[in-house]
Chain A
Amino acid sequence: DIQMTQSPSFLSASVGDRVTINCKASQNINKYLNWYQQKLGEAPKLLIYNTNNLQTGIPSRFSGSGSGTDYTLTISSLQPEDVATYFCLQHSSRYTFGAGTKLELK
């Protein structure tokens, strides 16, 4: 099974900051990488699919990049409503979620 290592586990940032979250796969996943946002008590919400494709309705301050085994989610200017936990998911071979990054405001 493919393993996903997500970092950091916890992130504190200020409004307007640029935020990056990383996921590293145990093998090449050929850009089959999605990102999700989960707020307390809610189901996860798809932000980005296949590394860098923004889901409909998601603000353009969210972007994704990466290739091979290393992938990044970037929030260009953090907003208060972005406080949430973020997960990556590989769908190259079955499915594996990263452990999550809890993002809070400083």
Chain B
Amino acid sequence: QQQVKQSPQSLIVQKGGISIINCAYENTAFDYFPWYQQFPGKGPALLIAIRPDVSEKKEGRFTISFNKSAKQFSLHIMDSQPGDSATYFCAASNAGNMLTFGGGTRLMVKP
């Protein structure tokens, strides 16, 4: 019940395209859903996060869509750029405690 399932495992997108990564969770006690971006050899960096009281949050080219009834949330990267090539992790937590991470999506944006 603590699992967060993430798909796809890898994604190739052309420059300027939209990258979409999906996550699903089981634990209804989760109340915080961040996305992290990780470059090789670096720590995860917080990209954007959402709480279940809103269905969408947008920051620049990054948007989280949240579907509470389906227990799913997704990251959309608009106008994807080669510099966005990284591994993306969704995560979830309950009241700010331990983060449960998804399996990660390796995104490659082709120029």
Does B bind A? no
